[in-house]
A and B are shown apart, each in its own frame.
Chain A
Amino acid sequence: MTAPTMDPHVGDDVLVRVLDDQASELERSHARPHLDTCDVCRTRLDTLERRTRSLHAVLRAADPPMPAMRPPLPGAHRSRHIPRAWLSAAALAALLAGGALVASPAGVRLLDWIAATLGSTAPVDPPAEPVSSGIEFVPAGGELVIEVIDGRAGGEVRLQTHSGSSVTARVRDASGPVELVVLASGLRIGNSGTRATYEITLPEQLRRVRVQIGGEPAVDIPTGQLPRVIRFGP
């Protein structure tokens, strides 16, 4: 039986680390003297270096021009930070607690007292507060995609043009939170479960607008055919 022989050469991992200046002091102290005397390792290092340089050039040459983008503004979107599962659990707990209170004798007496104090037994619903928000941005290209995430939530998209260069989107009479996110391709409306009216004004020079609602096939509308109202949902 022959004893296993150690590979005398420097491994690819160490060669790449040497190339990238990421090798430890110990690795460098072993690799450098070996590279000075070993043609095999020297050639392999040169190959890796040449390929790295070539790849850099090839990638740079193939990069498309970068679209004009702006950083998102803190006030430009609305989002829920409370996980939905927590909200569901809280709502269920409130429902059970309310039911238990109304069903108990103490609860009945309490309700009678409240009714007597208020002078009426009719339940009074607090008025729903409509939510409105908006956003303005300059589109990157000649066309714009407007994506409405939840097609079943209901509402309408009102499209019109103006002579300016920016897109303005306003959310009217929303029954809940709506997230407006500006993307390179256009505008994403995160309306999960929220019914609302979306008033969107587009620059006249835009070629066309593509509206996609709830994963349905997109509808292409030349801006020359605006204004238009698109209703969706139940």
Chain B
Amino acid sequence: MTDVTVLFREHHESLWRFLTRLTGDPDRAADAAQLAFVRYVERPPVTNNVRAWLFRVGRNAALEAARTHNRRLRLLSTAAGRVPHADPQPAADEAFVAADRARSVHAALAHLSMKERTVLLMREEGFAHREIAAAVGTTTGSVGTMIARALDKLAAELRLDRETST
């Protein structure tokens, strides 16, 4: 078993970033990433690609958490009067702009199917096409097509055809 501290240092940030972009919720992403490492400690997987395993477990945990969250939201919406709400914190301009930017990026990503989103975001984290294919249950050949299609869908919404300075 690889030392979990070493694994955590090498992969946690990338996993958290992937899950944050996938779900649009940094807290839920952090929880799901942490659960992936807890699962690793509890039952180390028999695999030669621990990184891909962590991403798969983290993704499943995040999606399950999202389903639970949505169920709770439905329950709360039926009893809104009984639920305590905190006063909203006054947001600084910078934080507001950053949050607004994150919201619009997530909204654009939400237009993709979960499979397309996973493919695109795993590619961003540097996974090989065959690893992405294994994660989403498709062929290596179709990964390229899905990436091109996802980029086409996002192009207008995120104005990807403008040259970036970075």
Contact residues in B for A55 (Cβ distance below 8 Å)? 120, 124, 151, 154, 158, 160
Contact residues in B for A84 (Cβ distance below 8 Å)? none
| Cα distance, A22 to B140, chains bound together (Å) | 10
Within the complex, which residue of A20, A69, A218 is in contact with B129, where a contact is CB–CB below 8 Å? A20
* A217/B34 in contact, CB under 8 A: no
* B31/A51 in contact, CB under 8 A: no
Contacts A58-B160, A64-B98, A71-B8; A81 near B76 (Cβ below 8 A): no
* CB of B163 closer than 8 Å to a CB of A: yes
Contact residues in A for B38 (Cβ distance below 8 Å)? 72, 77, 181
* CB of A9 closer than 8 Å to a CB of B: no
Count of chain A residues with a beta carbon within 8 Å of a chain B beta carbon:
48
Contact residues in A for B31 (Cβ distance below 8 Å)? 183-185
Contact residues in A for B72 (Cβ distance below 8 Å)? 215
| Cα distance, A14 to B159, chains bound together (Å) | 24
Within the complex, which residue of A11, A53, A81, A184 is in contact with B30, where a contact is CB–CB below 8 Å? A184
* B17/A184 in contact, CB under 8 A: no
- Chain B nearest Cβ from A52, distance in angstroms: 7
Within the complex, which residue of B27, B34, B105, B147 is in contact with A16, where a contact is CB–CB below 8 Å? B147
* B155/A66 in contact, CB under 8 A: no
* B34/A183 in contact, CB under 8 A: yes
Within the complex, which residue of B13, B76, B164 is in contact with A57, where a contact is CB–CB below 8 Å? B164
Proximity bits, A177-199, B CB within 8 Å = 1, else 0: 00001111100000000000000
Contact residues in B for A64 (Cβ distance below 8 Å)? 20, 26, 98, 102
Please provide the chain B residues from 1 to 48 with a CB less than 8 Å away from any CB of chain A in the complex. Answer: 4-5, 7-9, 12-13, 16-17, 20-21, 26-27, 30-31, 33-35, 37-38, 41-43
Contact residues in A for B160 (Cβ distance below 8 Å)? 50-51, 54-55, 58
* B30/A71 in contact, CB under 8 A: no
- Chain B nearest Cβ from A45, distance in angstroms: 10
Q: Which A residue sits closest to B84, measured CB to CB?
A: A220
Within the complex, which residue of B8, B12, B35 is in contact with A181, where a contact is CB–CB below 8 Å? B35
Contacts A58-B105, A64-B102; A50 near B163 (Cβ below 8 A): yes
* CB of B128 closer than 8 Å to a CB of A: yes
Contact residues in A for B70 (Cβ distance below 8 Å)? none
* B154/A12 in contact, CB under 8 A: no
Q: Which A residue sits closest to B108, measured CB to CB?
A: A58
* CB of B90 closer than 8 Å to a CB of A: no
Contact residues in A for B152 (Cβ distance below 8 Å)? 51
* CB of B142 closer than 8 Å to a CB of A: yes
- Chain A nearest Cβ from B164, distance in angstroms: 4
* CB of A25 closer than 8 Å to a CB of B: no
* CB of A37 closer than 8 Å to a CB of B: no
Contact residues in A for B148 (Cβ distance below 8 Å)? 12-13, 15-16, 48
* CB of A229 closer than 8 Å to a CB of B: no
B binding-site residues for A, Cβ under 8 Å:
4-5, 7-9, 12-13, 16-17, 20-21, 26-27, 30-31, 33-35, 37-38, 41-43, 72, 76, 79, 82-84, 86, 98, 101-102, 104-106, 120, 123-124, 128-129, 141-145, 147-149, 151-152, 154-155, 158-164, 166
Q: Given contacts A73-B41, A77-B41, A220-B84, list 7 more A-B pairs with CB under 8 A.
A: A16-B145, A57-B164, A62-B106, A69-B34, A71-B37, A74-B41, A81-B42
5 pairs, A vs B, C-beta closer than 8 Å = A11-B145, A54-B159, A55-B158, A69-B34, A184-B34
Listed from nearest, the 5 A-B pairs whose CB atoms lie closest are A184-B30, A13-B144, A16-B144, A71-B8, A12-B148
